[in-house]
Structure 1
């Protein structure tokens, strides 16, 4: 619990530093005797339920680390997805022990989804539940764009679990995108392109590595300027690719048994 609270505060602090940062806290899910992070928000899949829950939130101490304003706790029981509680983000982001847990009264919102035992079955939800645990191996400060060592994906049909698949994700460290950008900036020779002497060129890049960290494929796109002749544009891209191919070993992120392409990044090559 203390570790979870620390994560919430760090995310909130990051939000204060940058309004562009929108990494989100996860819902929680109880499976057996353990509690895991759920990187799916079933309530948000129903616009009416989402609106009704929002109307019951305090709307105070808002933090961009939790745009939806709450954290729901779920449970898989009898192969059903059960909603146990919804906690207001006001108490999530309070300093430890300064506020009691603030929960949303579920009566009147989920009545039609209660079964004979009074449990709230998420029969409005069909789709995939992404349940994660272990070390975080990859992170981008946006939404749920992060990966963990252990991942189990549950397929749900009207609140019932119909299948599950488990994965062991990994990352093999090599050259980061940040270092690759530095390499391009220091090694790119603009003398080959005198027509761009007073022009800032903005490019977009992504690399798909092989298992050993070498390059499988490179994607380079020139965003600006639009005025470049096609032949010169192709030559420019070729020069960029030549530099990127000098990287001895890239980060290799394997998720769901597949090597993932790097995040697409943009780079400005100044005059």
Structure 2
């Protein structure tokens, strides 16, 4: 019985670990540089997974365990406004799906988004193999309200050598 309990425990532990995959970040053009964005502002526009799969069947494609959302978006912050520049299926820059999601030309002001953007600068100093658990030398937290910049704070993250 102890052996069976151990085997079941090991199985569930390995299953838990297998779902803990670090995710591809979004990209953002910020102050002239293309940086990693550990936020997903398009999610609110796309809606819940069930309705999104009905409305956008091409997003059912599972590209990788590192890209559960099936896309990677490119954003830009310009003149205190957040814009969606492009959306790539499976993070492949040759596979733009922007026109499949919007009937507008790029850039598209992200009026639907209110929340915080986590813009990463410098080298990664810590990584945990789960979601966006990545830590960089510096981070700018940008607060957006209906596509407009409301506030920004810059942080320098320390680490022990």
> Which bracket does the TM-score occupy, shorter chain normalised?
0.7 to 0.9
How many residues align? The count is 142
Larger radius of gyration: 1
Deviation, structure 1 residue 33: 2.0
Paired residues of 2:61 and 2:70 also in contact (CA < 8 A): yes
The equivalent of 1:83 in structure 2 is 84
The equivalent of 2:151 in structure 1 is 163
Give me the whole-angstrom Cα distance separating, in 1, the residues matched to 2:112 and 2:91. Answer: 27
Give me the whole-angstrom Cα distance separating, in 2, the residues matched to 1:49 and 1:58. Answer: 13
TM-score by length of 1: 0.47
The equivalent of 2:114 in structure 1 is 126
The equivalent of 1:190 in structure 2 is none
The equivalent of 2:24 in structure 1 is 25
Change (3 A) 1:56 1:171: same
Deviation, structure 1 residue 119: 3.4
Query: Structure 2, unaligned stretches of length 5 or more?
Result: 1-16
Task: Report whether the alignment pairs 1:149 with 2:148.
Answer: no
Give me the whole-angstrom Cα distance separating, in 2, the residues matched to 1:68 and 1:128. Answer: 19
Q: CA RMSD in A?
A: 2.5
Deviation, structure 1 residue 137: 1.2
Deviation, structure 1 residue 54: 4.6
TM-score by length of 2: 0.77
Deviation, structure 1 residue 32: 3.1
Change (3 A) 1:64 1:80: same
